[in-house]
Amino acid sequence: MKYDVQRSCGHDEVHDLFRSAAERQRKIRWLKSTPCESCYREEQKQNCKTNSEMAAKTNQARKAALLLGSVAQVNWAETIRQAVFNALDEALAGKTILLDAKTKDRKRVWKSVSSQLLAIPEASWWIGIYKSLLDPVNPRKTPSTHTLLTEFVAHCLSKVEDAHAVGITTEVFSRVQIAKARANAVIENKIKVDSFIAKGRAIGLKGRVKIWRDGKGSVSIFADDFSFTAEGRWAGKLENETKISNKKIVEFCKEVLDAWPKTQEQFYC
Ligand SMILES: [Zn+2]
Q: What is the pLDDT of residues 118-137, one digit of tens each?
A: 999 999 999 999 999 998 88
What one-character-per-residue DSSP string does 85-109 give? Answer: HHHHHHHHTT-SGGG----TTHHHH
| Residues having C-beta closer than 5 Å to ion ligand 1 | 9, 11, 36, 39
pLDDT grade for 103, boundaries at 50, 70 and 90: low
Q: How far is the CA of 16 from the centre of ligand 1 (A)?
A: 18
Q: What pairs with residue 158 in β-bridges?
A: none
Q: How far is the CA of 23 from the centre of ligand 1 (A)?
A: 23
Closest to 31 measured CA to CA, from 56, 61, 11: 11
Which residues are CB-contacts of 128 (< 8 A; sequence separation ≥ 6)? 183
**Comparison of pLDDT for 90 and 233, the residue scoring more:** 90
Q: What pairs with residue 111 in β-bridges?
A: none
Task: For residues 185-190, give the mean pLDDT.
Answer: 91
Q: How far is the CA of 41 from the centre of ligand 1 (A)?
A: 9
Q: How far is the CA of 32 from the centre of ligand 1 (A)?
A: 11
pLDDT grade for 232, boundaries at 50, 70 and 90: low
Ramachandran category for residue 147: left, alpha or beta (phi over 0 → left; psi -120 to 50 → alpha): alpha
Q: How far is the CA of 240 from the centre of ligand 1 (A)?
A: 55
Task: For residues 140-144, give the mean pLDDT.
Answer: 87
Q: How far is the CA of 267 from the centre of ligand 1 (A)?
A: 40
Q: What is the pLDDT of residues 194-230, one digit of tens each?
A: 999 999 999 999 999 999 988 787 889 999 888 898 8
pLDDT grade for 139, boundaries at 50, 70 and 90: confident
Whole-structure pTM value? 0.63
Which residues are CB-contacts of 225 (< 8 A; sequence separation ≥ 6)? 205, 206, 207, 240, 241, 242
Closest to 266 measured CA to CA, from 188, 182, 192, 181: 192
Q: How far is the CA of 37 from the centre of ligand 1 (A)?
A: 7
